[in-house]
Chain A
Amino acid sequence: MEVLQLLVSGLANGCVYGLIALGFVLIYKATEAVNFAQGDFMMLGAFVTLGLTNAQYMDLPFWVAAPMAIAIMAVLGYLLDFFVLRHLFGQSQTAVVILTIALGFVIRFIAGAIWGHEPQTLESPLAVGDLRVGGVVLGMADVAVIIVTVLLTLFLYQFFQRTKLGLAMQAASQNQMAAYFMGIPVRRVQGMIWGLSGAVAAVAGILFASKGAIDPNAGLLGIKAFAAAVIGGFGSLPGALAGGLIVGVIEPFAARYLAAGYSQIAPYALLLFVLVFRPHGLFSQVRTKKV
């Protein structure tokens, strides 16, 4: 029974990692740049929701605040691309990497200035109570996180499979030049992907904050999500989610069964293994180019 409890809380954490990893991969596939501020996007999404719904701030109902926060983060992602990143078009990848790292610092600072550096809890209806199934006690928050992640995944799948915009995003990420000549406005589509990854980050933030307290440094767990994205194979959307789940599940089991000093390194040890034995990741779509 203990195993089941560890598994559920691991899966719930893994969902958050997976959603952040999804943001990494969305942007990487579309623009070949890695957005190291993705974890901080998640943190900002959580704080925006908190600012809208908590009693000491604007005190809006949660079900109004959450969609608003998702929309705000989507617009923010789009504007960030429009005003900042698009001007780096054609610059080296290093410039983009440094820029997004700096962006992470800026977001952390701004969040701290607005909402303070003390940990706060989101007043979320997802966080209430426990679920008892047989002899197992599961946190409602954990169960809610898993359900929301599954729904969001289905929604994204539908979006990429069914809609012309989703198809255009896939096309633009596979071959920019060809996409242009199929009549796809590649740069605008890239901006929309930044918007989409902002929205996904907001969902991840809301879920994360429903499970516990957040502070402006919460975004640093983006590092774990980055490891998850690499384990899953950077460039594969299902891989990112699966990588997140793997990292999430490993953590509580390592904490339970390994010596205290070793449990923290378990996800990174797995990352090393994957890089050595499957350098393209577990679920990679990359094939070696045959010449």
Chain B
Amino acid sequence: MSALLDIRNATLKFGGVVAVNDLSFTVEEGEVYAIVGPNGAGKSTVFNLISRFYDPFSGAITFDGNNLLDRKADEVADLGIARTFQNIELFEHATVLQNLLVGRHRHRRTTLVEEMLFTPRVRREEKRHREAVEEVIDFLDLQPYRNKMIAGLPYGVRKVVEVGRALATGPRLLLLDEPASGLSVEETQDMRWWIDDIRKQMGITVLMVEHDMGLVSGVSDRVLALADGAKLAEGTPAEVQSDPAVIEAYLGAGAA
């Protein structure tokens, strides 16, 4: 069985700084794969490589057999990859519902003229998109916020809305950039159940960057530890946490 996402020998340099250094890993269909590492280890950079925000200096990235490096940033969603951002990038002056509906953009089947005339076919399609979005709203318990503007929502809710918008695109691979950062203990707990359900009920593969080791060991099948843009250790959460190189990178030499 070939992997869903395959990153091979990826290297990215910003001037003289090597952000990602000859990194290779694969994510299998149906698993939750977490990337951990100290600040500046290159975790978010890996995400930005996959979502085609950056071009790697060298190396290959394939998704389900497609060469991702051939695609532009706006074509990545069409392949079935969705992501969230560390610092939340929602459409601020729109409601929760509208944000999720933008997620349906890639499923658009109707033409501009049909949409202007609001033909029966457009109405049917619109209904279909709305139903898909309502499913996501139910799944993430967002009903109370459906028609609220993003700009007025608390941080924890926005974080969930962003996951919802990514789910609305109907992805096969979901990239979560620090889903628990800034969340309270209860909210983090909720996020943990949702990630579990996203994998089990929706069958979506999850790749996440996360600092909260409780969350990482709770939901992940495999963990990759990065330091200075290179692979430090890979394995089950327990294996990675007890790896001497990882402990040294986190706590400094001598702590082990």
A180 partner, pick from B74, B92, B122, beta carbons under 8 A: B74
Known contacts A159-B116, A163-B116, A183-B78; decide if A178 and B91 are in contact (CB<8 Å): yes
**How far apart are B33's CB and chain A's nearest CB, in angstroms?**
19
Q: Is B200 an interface residue (CB 8 A)?
A: no
Q: Is A102 an interface residue (CB 8 A)?
A: no
A287 contact set on B, CB distance < 8 A: 151
B77 touches A183 (CB 8 A): yes
Residue ID in chain A nearest B74 by CB atoms: A185
B91 touches A170 (CB 8 A): yes
Q: Is B233 an interface residue (CB 8 A)?
A: no
**How far apart are A1's CB and chain B's nearest CB, in angstroms?**
41
A158 contact set on B, CB distance < 8 A: 116, 118
Residue ID in chain A nearest B78 by CB atoms: A183
A183 contact set on B, CB distance < 8 A: 74-78, 105-106, 169
A162 to B114, CA, bound (A): 10
B73 touches A164 (CB 8 A): no
Q: Is B101 an interface residue (CB 8 A)?
A: yes
Q: Which of A169-185 contact B (CB under 8 A)?
A: 170-171, 174-175, 177-185
Q: Is A55 an interface residue (CB 8 A)?
A: no
A185 contact set on B, CB distance < 8 A: 72, 74
B51 touches A168 (CB 8 A): no
Most chain A CB within a 10 A radius of its CB, from B92, B93, B151, B165: B93
Q: Is A43 an interface residue (CB 8 A)?
A: no
Residue ID in chain B nearest A178 by CB atoms: B89
B115 touches A163 (CB 8 A): yes
B91 partner, pick from A171, A181, A186, beta carbons under 8 A: A171
Most chain B CB within a 10 A radius of its CB, from A168, A171, A179, A182: A182
Q: Is A269 an interface residue (CB 8 A)?
A: no
Residue ID in chain A nearest B114 by CB atoms: A163
Residue ID in chain B nearest A177 by CB atoms: B89
A264 to B37, CA, bound (A): 64
A164 touches B75 (CB 8 A): no
Residue interface bits A150-162, CB-to-B below 8 A is 1, else 0: 0000000011001
Known contacts A180-B74, A181-B77, A183-B169; decide if A168 and B105 are in contact (CB<8 Å): yes
B92 touches A175 (CB 8 A): yes
A sample of 21 cross-chain residue pairs with beta-carbon separation below 8 angstroms, ordered by A number, consists of A158-B118, A162-B115, A162-B116, A164-B105, A164-B110, A167-B102, A168-B105, A171-B94, A174-B93, A175-B91, A177-B53, A178-B85, A178-B89, A178-B91, A179-B74, A180-B74, A181-B51, A182-B102, A182-B105, A184-B74, A186-B74
Rank and list the top 7 A-B pairs by shortest CB-CB distance, nearest first.
A183-B77, A163-B115, A183-B106, A178-B89, A180-B73, A174-B91, A185-B74
Extra pairs beyond A162-B115, A185-B72, A287-B151 (7, CB < 8 Å): A168-B102, A171-B94, A171-B105, A175-B89, A181-B76, A182-B77, A183-B77
Measured CB to CB, the residues of B under 8 A from A are: 51, 53, 72-78, 82-83, 85, 89-94, 98, 101-103, 105-106, 108, 110, 112, 115-116, 118, 122, 151, 165, 169
